[in-house]
Structure 1
């Protein structure tokens, strides 16, 4: 189904675009950081230029490895929320662990989101699974998401395995496929 971006744009959800995930030597440093960040910025700029709705998710876990007082939890420069863009902090991997996010999404009649960002194997996966069970439609931008290095094995295979699981709960597309020259978006 094609929906006009200009008539009814989906909400852009930016997941965990925090410095923590790009800092070399950190346990949760992500794969493809520069490429994913560039694609996230490109899509975020498109949404902002058109004044379409944007949500930012920020993981504030209480685990020993995650220090919320650290500068590592700060937003990444150009990707940080602007005035008028909603932000939701979530303590568990799913955005639905934020009571404010649940309240917000339950008040939207036709909840459709384009999801990008970091923490693919945690926040992105958990959020699309939770959303699926609430009949919320998510579209994950495959080249604008990234995940941490796996403990062992091939990193690219790990990311692809996570994307295969996500594909059971959300549609997955590359950014080039997502945006069509007609101004329509496949949802």
Structure 2
């Protein structure tokens, strides 16, 4: 039996929505940023309109600590956390490298998380695998995630390969399915 999105709304986890991923010339610049930003904003708007919980993850790697004046770790302006939304900084790829996040998730019972955002091949992949080993349930929004340009090969094939690996540890869902599930119930 399918559980309604309204009966047990999942937590929207927004991964690394930072300017570094949009800055040309950076190692982590992502392919197709406008489409992914748009879908992430659409999902955030759905969650905010329904007053469902949102968590923001922010990668603070060691390189940023040596240049505190850098704005590369700043939130993308239209995707930054609002008051009342949780935000966790994590130094390693997995969000569980944040002791606050790990403790928060350990204290949640029967929680479902829907992941969207950037760094698919780092933060999202490692968080899903860590969560899987802690019996946490994740779904990844396949069309609302992005990863950096690979060193070689086609970016779309690389993303598909990473999503396929993640599918071994989490469900893969489309943003249209989540939005449609909400629209059917709201009518």
* Band the TM-score falls in, shorter-chain normalisation: over 0.9
What is the TM-score with the length of structure 1 in the denominator? 0.93
Q: Distance in 2 between matches of 1:140 and 1:167?
A: 8
Matches within 5 A, 1:94-173: 94-173=94-173
Matches within 5 A, 1:14-29: 14-29=14-29
Contact 1:60 1:66 in 2 (8 A): no
Q: Distance in 1 between matches of 2:71 and 2:4?
A: 39
Number of matched residues?
Answer: 184
Residues 147 and 67 (structure 1), Cα distance of their counterparts in 2 relative to 1, 3 Å cut: farther
SS at match of 1:73: coil
Residues 126 and 68 (structure 1), Cα distance of their counterparts in 2 relative to 1, 3 Å cut: farther
Shift of 1:183: 3.3
Q: Which residue of 2 aligns with 1:183?
A: 185
Shift of 1:34: 0.4
Q: Which residue of 2 aligns with 1:37?
A: 37
What is the TM-score with the length of structure 2 in the denominator? 0.93
Structure 1 gaps, min length 5: none
Question: Is 2:60 aligned against 1:77?
Answer: no
Q: Alpha carbon RMSD of aligned pairs, Å?
A: 1.7
